[in-house]
Structure formats: C-alpha cells, structure tokens
Amino acid sequence: MYAKHAFVEELTRSRLAPPPQPPLEEDSVREAAVREHQARTSPLMLEIRLKNGDGEMLSYALLNRVRKRHGGAQWELMFFGCTVILRGRNLHHLPEMLRYHKLSVLQEGDSVESELAGGDRAFIESITIEDSNE
C-alpha cells in the first residue's frame, strides 16, 4: 500500500511541476538576435500616414513596380491591389530606400513642416492611395 501511495504522490508532483526547459543553445540565441536585427533594419511593411490621421500598412512583398514622374516630383508605388502616389520634393533617395526595404514610414506633411524641411531635405506634400478594384 505504501508503494501505491508513493506512486500517486510522484504522479501528482510531476503534473504540478512544469517540465524542465532545455538550456538555450548559443546558436538559437544568435538566430533570435539575427531575426530581431532583420526585423528592425528591414521592415516587412510600409506604413502610409496621411495628414488627416488616416493610414495604411502595405507589405513590401506586394510592391511590384515604382514609377518616377515629373522629374522626380511624383512617384507611383504600385502594390498588388492599390497604387500609392507621392508628390513632393527631394525624393531622389526614395528608390534606393524602397529597393533595400529601408523605409518603414511615408508621412504626408503640411505647410508648416514644408517650411521646416527646408532646402535639400525630402518632403512629401501629398499622398493618394488608389485602390485597383475601383
């Protein structure tokens, strides 16, 4: 009877205690750090912020074409399902930033921000999002 009681106690104790976790291996820690670094330096989505507070997030994977118009004052970002039209100035670094997924936010500015941006700084005057379904 004592053996039966000891068996029940052992079974109960093993159910209450969480199973021991294996120690983290150095490779898994390194892989986690690499994934975190990639997520921070190469965003998977591009956030679009409009002056009125509206916004949208679009996957870089769905970006299939970028078109420059009017000498670089207008850019069309063609995603699957929509086109984002940017109008602004000094946007010459835009293609490189998009190519390497270095851009996480495109934000529409207002007249005060336009003046603060000054000379050679990039500034987006307007953003239009056109759905392809319409």
- Position 130 pLDDT exceeds 70: yes
What letter does residue 108 receive in the DSSP assignment? -
pLDDT digits (tens, 9 = 90+) for 75-85: 999 999 999 99
Q: Is residue 60 part of a domain?
A: yes
Q: Is residue 10 part of a domain?
A: no
CA distance 90 to 95: 12
Q: Is residue 3 part of a domain?
A: no
Which percentage of the chain shows pLDDT scores above 70? 68
* Structural domain containing residue 62: 43-131
Contact by Cβ (8 Å): 123, 88 = yes
Domain tally, the chain: 1
Q: Is residue 25 part of a domain?
A: no
pLDDT at 121: 82
pLDDT digits (tens, 9 = 90+) for 65-115: 999 999 989 999 999 999 999 999 889 999 999 998 888 899 998 766 655
Contact by Cβ (8 Å): 42, 57 = no
Q: Is residue 18 part of a domain?
A: no
Q: What is the pTM for the complete model shown?
A: 0.65
